[in-house]
Amino acid sequence: MKRASVMCVEKILVIFPKRLGDALMCTPALKVLADCFPTATIDALAESALGGVVASRNPHVNKVLVEPSEDQLRDIAKGYQLGVNLHCAVNHDRDFLKLLKTENTDLRAVYPVDQDKAVHQSAHNIRSLANQLKTSLDVDDMPYEFLITENDRLSLRERLQSQGVDVDKQHLVVFQLGCHGIQKNAKPWKFWKKMGHKRTWNWERFWTLECKLRKHDPNITIVLQGAGKERLLVEQYQRKSTRAVGFVDAGIEELAALLEKCDCLVTPDTGTMHLGCAMGSPMVAMFGPTSPACTGPHPLREDIKILKGASLEDISVDSVCAAVCELLPIQPEVE
């Protein structure tokens, strides 16, 4: 990579978006910044607590400020020469770079250009940044970065052991039951009906998948991931399956430790899917109306299977079961 020489830069402030997946897709661009300005300090301003966690677990970030007040922005504005918004999901209600520039007119503000839908969002973030910094780069398929600690791994082990799970002796298959749309809009009564959200796979299909998988590996451990309103889906599922383990409302760090350890993640297009990419999880990723080319697993690996339908309801249990069996590996059921 050719380093940028556009200005003397000692301190850089990077804006992290709200959602988990969006924030993770920004992390490769941080490496571009670190390579371009090897002596500069990179700080992060996060639009949400989730974005703050991703920023705090990045090796290139010095310190993180989460959802700052205008007084806090005024206090820090003069310390930066370069401000970078890495994602197209700019918070127009509160454009942090614009607020910073009113206090520091010398600040150079870099925004992403409109995305090419044929290019993955992560690669687009890198290309957009590199073009504006007038630097060349050799690769745009750099992996996401999210660091976990031994304490995170220990916390995971203790949580699963309390539910009778030996993480070293059992195959762990994680089911991500929900999606951002459920977190944002779900009402409790909806979970008593057949789930029809276009970006979810009905929990009853997950239950059928568990039954099929247990025919091949009776000792398989199903871990049900959910947070916030997704808890209702986990509870509904566990009324059917007394053997599935709930993993509800865990911190992102502990979830990352689970995804590092699991043998397979089964998920729709969610932040959990992107976190699984960061942790190297073998996975079956299911897509309905969203595009795998734009927001799918990145970078692609041999242990990532992508299943696509017009909606998630078009994806059959048998096709998911076959993909999971190939990754574990166990032989799929012949019917």
Domains plus CATH for the chain? Answer: 11-132 (3.40.50.2000), 152-327 (3.40.50.2000)
User: CA nearest 31: which of 81, 84, 108, 90?
Assistant: 84
User: CA nearest 271: which of 261, 259, 289, 288?
Assistant: 259
Tell me the pTM.
Answer: 0.91
Neighbouring residues of 174: CB distance < 8 A, sequence distance ≥ 6: 223, 224, 225, 247, 258, 259, 262, 264, 265, 266, 267, 281
Look at residue 236 and give its three-state secondary structure. helix
Q: Are strands 221-226 and 304-308 parallel, antiparallel or unpaired?
A: unpaired
CA–CA separation, 245 vs 250, rounded Å? Answer: 13
CA–CA separation, 25 vs 89, rounded Å? Answer: 12
Q: What pLDDT does 335 receive?
A: 52
- Would the CA dihedral through 215, 218, 220, 222 be positive or negative? positive
Q: Mean pLDDT lowest for which of 4-18, 27-41, 285-299?
A: 4-18
Tokens 């998911």, residue? Answer: 320
The answer to whether the bond into 268 is cis (omega within 30° of 0) is no
Q: What is the DSSP string of 20-56?
A: HHHHHHHHHHHHHHHHHSTTSEEEEEESSHHHHHHHH
Neighbouring residues of 35: CB distance < 8 A, sequence distance ≥ 6: 1, 3
Q: What pLDDT does 95 receive?
A: 87
Q: What pLDDT does 179 receive?
A: 64
CA–CA separation, 73 vs 84, rounded Å? Answer: 15
Is a pLDDT exceeding 50 seen at residue 5?
no
Q: What pLDDT does 6 receive?
A: 46
For 117-138, the pLDDT digits (tens) are: 788 999 988 888 888 888 876 6
Secondary structure E strands in the chain = 11-16, 41-46, 64-66, 82-85, 108-110, 172-176, 221-226, 245-248, 264-268, 283-287, 304-308
**Phi, psi angle pair for 284, to nearest 5°:** -110, 110
For 253-262, the pLDDT digits (tens) are: 999 999 999 9
CA–CA separation, 175 vs 283, rounded Å? Answer: 10
Q: What is the average per-residue pLDDT within 237-251?
A: 91
Angle, CA of 285, 176 and 144, to the nearest 5°: 60
CA–CA separation, 306 vs 300, rounded Å? Answer: 10
